[in-house]
Structure 1
């Protein structure tokens, strides 16, 4: 089942909220979750494990191009250890293309940084379930980017429009196979 995805503000309760004032780019999306008992990390793992094939192809293209300009080949969103349970992850571990920066039942923050930019992603459970959404449990998936130099700014000129298509498309798969 494809989940509806809504553009929202980064939740004030998110660990990313204090960094918004200095951010060069940020956005957030709300999506219903099929199981409110899952931790924020379990939800994230479920999202990236069903990354659409076209997103994986775009990441491959991105990786081939950006290494020519000194940026990292990140791999793919879904490059996770399918056999590793969420409970085995610790702050500092790699989870696909990101490092685990903060971990709680309610919110997981992942990120990556290089000399050009710093990216942080949050999956934050929204509490309580919103009446406008039929009382269904949901998460906010937020992204915050801080550019560190001109190359980071140029990179984001190309990536931001794609990001606004990739994230909702990936989030819509959340209920698939659940």
Structure 2
């Protein structure tokens, strides 16, 4: 019997993307309600080919608290940066069209932080630079890889499983 088959690259990229959101969000203090990949797009042409979901719960948020805004921004951008890191691609220029929802959320977040467009651009650039460094190293990268592997098994991952991964990998550093 031949059990060799091609892995679905889109599914793998999506798994790393969603794992990036979940691990960084959890490490920054969010409660992750769930993380999943959806197979619905395989049956419905109206849906995007790649689809994943990470439900991040910050609890009670004070929109004027800079630290809360920063950690939300980092969590939003962590998905694309984790995916680019997995692909071994340069994250200097995020393709806004590829991650339109993430980018729109990041823009909304950063515009709440700064009214000046130059400060917004600088804040986004700094966040991406910081994430490129943090995500590519332990303990973040092994935690993201472990969660991505779990996601590709097909089941929804609950927040406690994400928190356990973060505790395990971050306690080793």
TM-score, normalising length: structure 2: 0.33
Q: Which has the higher helix share?
A: 2
